[in-house]
């Protein structure tokens, strides 16, 4: 958990009769997962336990997301908006967030496909399922994976000067996938790459 410090005394609890709307966003894909409401106790429990907890208006009690299904939302951070009357919660879901078994309570909520792929690559690295091309790459070692990245980079460059847009995008997708595998083989992920890019914005 990397919860940022938030001064609960500066939040405008009075505006919503003690409740603040809390938008939950996937910390990796940035997909909006759900909307709930927090009172002071729910926010305190969320930060204490590291699992996102709401105040259920229908049941009139605290409710930790996943307490029945096991699909908890692991807290990454929580911060207030500019008016201090709503919350943005970044979390990592353990399974589908929606009761309809979707990743989000908002059908087709946009998110990062590249981040989804990075999560899949990381899962393959942990499980190493038999018959998986990704498993074969990990088994071949960093040197071979690096070679594949080089090959895909050349193919992408050639497609840029000699083929149509669809071919270029196909080669670029292959390059992105192999680069994610290489990063994971070195113990790195898309988050580390994004952090490096943010450093260069300064």
One domain for residues 73 and 23: yes
Q: Quick check: 169 pLDDT over 80?
A: yes
Phi first, then psi: give them for residue 96, nearest 5 degrees: -65, 140
Query: What's the CA gap between 182 and 186, in Å, rounded?
Result: 6
| pLDDT class of 127 with cuts at 50, 70, 90 | very high
The average pLDDT across 35-61 equals 96
pLDDT tens digit sequence for 140-161: 999 999 999 999 999 999 999 9
Give the per-residue pLDDT at 43.
Answer: 97
Structural domain includes residue 103: no
Same domain, 12 and 86: yes
pLDDT at 200 over 70: yes
Indicate which CATH number applies to the domain containing 160.
1.10.287.1080
CB 22 within 8 A of CB 54: yes
Residues 82, 124, single domain; the answer is: no
**Residue 82 within a domain:** yes
Under 8 Å CB-to-CB from 175, ≥6 apart: which residues? 149, 152, 153, 155, 156
Phi, psi (rounded to 5 degrees) for 101:
70, 30
125 and 193 together in one domain:
yes
- Residue 64 domain-assigned? yes
The H or E element spanning position 113 is: helix 113-127
- Asked whether residue 105 is domain-assigned, the answer is no
**Quick one: average pLDDT of 17-23?**
96
Question: Which band of pLDDT confidence, cut at 50, 70 and 90, is reported for residue 6?
Answer: confident
What CATH number is given to the structural domain containing 77?
3.10.20.810
From 64, 93, 122, give the residue that closes a domain.
93
Domain membership of residue 30 as a residue range: 8-93
At 7 the pLDDT is 79
Pair (124, 173) in one structural domain? yes
Report pLDDT for 110.
94
Q: Do 66 and 35 have their domain in common?
A: yes
Segment 107-135 shows an average pLDDT of 96
Please calculate the CA angle 185-90-194 and round it to the nearest 5 degrees.
40
- Asked whether residue 98 is assigned to any structural domain, the reply reads no
pLDDT for residue 135: 98
The rounded mean pLDDT for the chain is 95
Domain count, the chain: 2
Residue 67 lies in a domain: yes
Give residue 183's pLDDT band: very low, low, confident or very high (50, 70, 90): very high
Judgement on whether residues 31 and 65 belong to the same structural domain of the protein: yes
Give me the pLDDT at residue 90, please. 97
Do 19 and 86 have their domain in common? yes
H/E element, 191: helix 190-199
Average pLDDT over residues 32-48: 97
Domain endpoint, select from 59, 93, 127: 93
Q: How far apart are CA 92 and CA 127, in angstroms?
A: 19
């Amino acid at each position: 958990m990397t919860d940022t410090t938030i001064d609960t005394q500066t939040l405008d609890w009075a505006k919503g009769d003690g409740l603040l709307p809390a938008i939950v966003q996937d910390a990796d894909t940035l997909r909006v997962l759900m909307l709930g409401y927090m009172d002071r106790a729910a926010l305190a429990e969320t930060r204490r336990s590291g699992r996102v907890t709401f105040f259920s208006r229908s049941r009139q009690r605290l409710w930790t997301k996943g307490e029945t299904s096991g699909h908890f939302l692991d807290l990454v951070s929580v911060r207030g908006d500019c008016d201090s009357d709503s919350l943005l919660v970044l979390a990592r879901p353990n399974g589908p967030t929606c009761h309809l078994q979707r990743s989000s309570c908002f059908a087709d909520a946009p998110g990062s496909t590249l981040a989804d792929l990075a999560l899949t690559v990381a899962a393959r690295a942990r499980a190493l399922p038999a018959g998986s091309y990704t498993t074969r790459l990990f088994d071949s070692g960093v040197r071979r994976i690096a070679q594949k990245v080089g090959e895909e980079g050349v193919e992408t460059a050639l497609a840029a000067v000699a083929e149509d847009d669809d071919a270029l995008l196909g080669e670029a997708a292959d390059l992105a996938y192999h680069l994610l595998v290489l990063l994971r083989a070195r113990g790195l992920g898309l988050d580390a790459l994004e952090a490096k890019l943010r450093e260069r914005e300064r």
